[in-house]
Chain A
């Protein structure tokens, strides 16, 4: 069982739609990263959070520590948001990042 589980695996939306990507993680993970990977492969860090909520532009990330669950929301989605979004958990004990399998988002105009 993967320590970080993401859903959905694939997501297609129309421009302007509100998008939610979910991430569940196991015990031992003390912080969550949300990453964006474009078709060329390069990865950009969007958020790192260990509690509460963070917002950057149209992106919002939330985390519920008790439920071990995090969500990434995109408001007013745009075709340029099309990418793979990856959730990664930081294991404090082992000092490692454990990655989810990613969610491929396609936003159609």
Chain B
């Protein structure tokens, strides 16, 4: 069955530092992968999605970027974090039959 591994679970980073969150998938190939962010008190907002290696679509302009170097790997990055980047980041996998699977999430606090 499909599983998503996302790490780390929590992260505290200073303003201006870089960020790298990794999401890896098992049990399926060529998945559609998604990065969402949930700011405090708000719903999940789509940041990036990828339908294949090297294919990244950005939903909102921001201080973040995403990459998909391998079929089952999706990375969220930033060169310099801002305070406003704090939030809960979630990696998701969507199957062709619309089943969805989620990583454990990463709670990022930028200080």
> What is the interface of chain A, defined by CB distance below 8 A to chain B?
2, 30-31, 33, 35, 41-45, 48, 50, 86, 88, 90, 92, 95-102
* Chain A contact surface mostly: strand
In the complex, what residues of B have CB within 8 A of residue A48's CB?
98-100
User: Is B36 within 8 A of A99, CB to CB?
Assistant: yes
B61 within 8 A of A: no
In the complex, what residues of A have CB within 8 A of residue B100's CB?
33, 35, 45, 48, 88, 90, 97
**Size bin of chain B's contact surface:** 20 to 34
User: Is B102 within 8 A of A45, CB to CB?
Assistant: yes
User: Is A96 within 8 A of B49, CB to CB?
Assistant: yes
User: Is A95 within 8 A of B94, CB to CB?
Assistant: yes
> What is the interface of chain B, defined by CB distance below 8 A to chain A?
32, 34, 36, 38, 42-46, 49, 51, 88, 90, 92, 94, 98-102, 104-105, 107
User: Is B99 within 8 A of A100, CB to CB?
Assistant: no
In the complex, what residues of B have CB within 8 A of residue A42's CB?
102, 104-105
What is the CB-to-nearest-CB distance from A82 to chain B, in angstroms, rounded to a whole number? 17
User: Is B43 within 8 A of A102, CB to CB?
Assistant: yes
What is the CB-to-nearest-CB distance from B86 to chain A, in angstroms, rounded to a whole number? 13
Q: A44 — nearest CB in chain B belongs to which residue?
A: B102
In the complex, what residues of B have CB within 8 A of residue A102's CB?
43
Q: B44 — nearest CB in chain A belongs to which residue?
A: A99
In the complex, what residues of B have CB within 8 A of residue A95's CB?
32, 49, 51, 94
In the complex, what residues of A have CB within 8 A of residue B102's CB?
35, 42-45
| C-alpha gap A99/B38 in the complex (Å) | 10
In the complex, what residues of B have CB within 8 A of residue A97's CB?
34, 46, 92, 94, 100
In the complex, what residues of B have CB within 8 A of residue A2's CB?
43
User: Is A31 within 8 A of B90, CB to CB?
Assistant: no
